[in-house]
Structure 1
Amino acid sequence: MTDVVSLDAVSKVYGKGQGAVAALREVSAGFPAGSFTAVMGPSGSGKSTLLHCAAGLDTPTSGSVRLGGTELAGMNETRLTELRRRRVGFVFQAFNLVSSLTVLENITLPLRLAGVAVDRAWLKEIVERVGLAGRAGHRPAQLSGGQQQRVAIARALVTRPEVVFGDEPTGALDTMTARDVLALLRQVVDGMGQTVVMVTHDPVAASYADTVLFLADGRIVDEMTDPTSEKVAERMTRLGAWN
Structure 2
Amino acid sequence: MTVFLRELRKTYEATAGTVTALDGVTVGFEQSTFTAIMGPSGSGKSTLLHCAAGLEQPTSGTVTVDGTVLGELGGNELTRFRRDRIGFVFQDFNLVSSLTAAQNVALPARLAGRRADAAAVTAVLDGVGLADRAAHRPSELSGGQQQRVAIARALFAQPAVVFADEPTGALDKATSHQILTLMRRMVDEHGRTIVLVTHDPVAAAVADRVLLLVDGRVTDEMAGADAAAVADRMTAMERSW
TM-score interval, normalised by the smaller of the two chains: over 0.9
Once the 2 structures are TM-superposed, how far is the Cα of residue 71 of structure 1 from its aligned partner? 0.7
Alpha-carbon distance in 1 for matches of 2:151, 2:239: 28
Alignment of 1:1-243 (within 5 A): 3-15=1-13, 19-240=17-238
* Matched position secondary structure for 1:223: strand
Alpha-carbon distance in 2 for matches of 1:73, 1:207: 32
Answer yes or no: is the 8 Å Cα contact 1:41–1:241 preserved in 2: no
* Matched position secondary structure for 1:25: strand
Alpha-carbon distance in 2 for matches of 1:59, 1:92: 19
Answer yes or no: is the 8 Å Cα contact 1:170–1:178 preserved in 2: yes
Once the 2 structures are TM-superposed, how far is the Cα of residue 120 of structure 1 from its aligned partner? 4.1
Answer yes or no: is the 8 Å Cα contact 1:43–1:241 preserved in 2: no
Once the 2 structures are TM-superposed, how far is the Cα of residue 205 of structure 1 from its aligned partner? 0.5
Aligned residue pair count: 241
Answer yes or no: is the 8 Å Cα contact 2:4–2:27 preserved in 1: yes
TM-score of the aligned structures, taking structure 1 as reference length: 0.95
Alpha-carbon distance in 1 for matches of 2:113, 2:194: 25
Once the 2 structures are TM-superposed, how far is the Cα of residue 242 of structure 1 from its aligned partner? 10
Once the 2 structures are TM-superposed, how far is the Cα of residue 73 of structure 1 from its aligned partner? 1.5
Once the 2 structures are TM-superposed, how far is the Cα of residue 82 of structure 1 from its aligned partner? 1.3
Unpaired runs of 5+ in structure 2?
none
> In terms of mean alpha carbon deviation, does 48-57 or 15-24 score higher?
15-24
Once the 2 structures are TM-superposed, how far is the Cα of residue 18 of structure 1 from its aligned partner? 6.2
| Alignment CA distance shift 1:128-1:22 (3 Å) | same
Aligned-pair identity (%): 56
Answer yes or no: is the 8 Å Cα contact 2:209–2:222 preserved in 1: yes
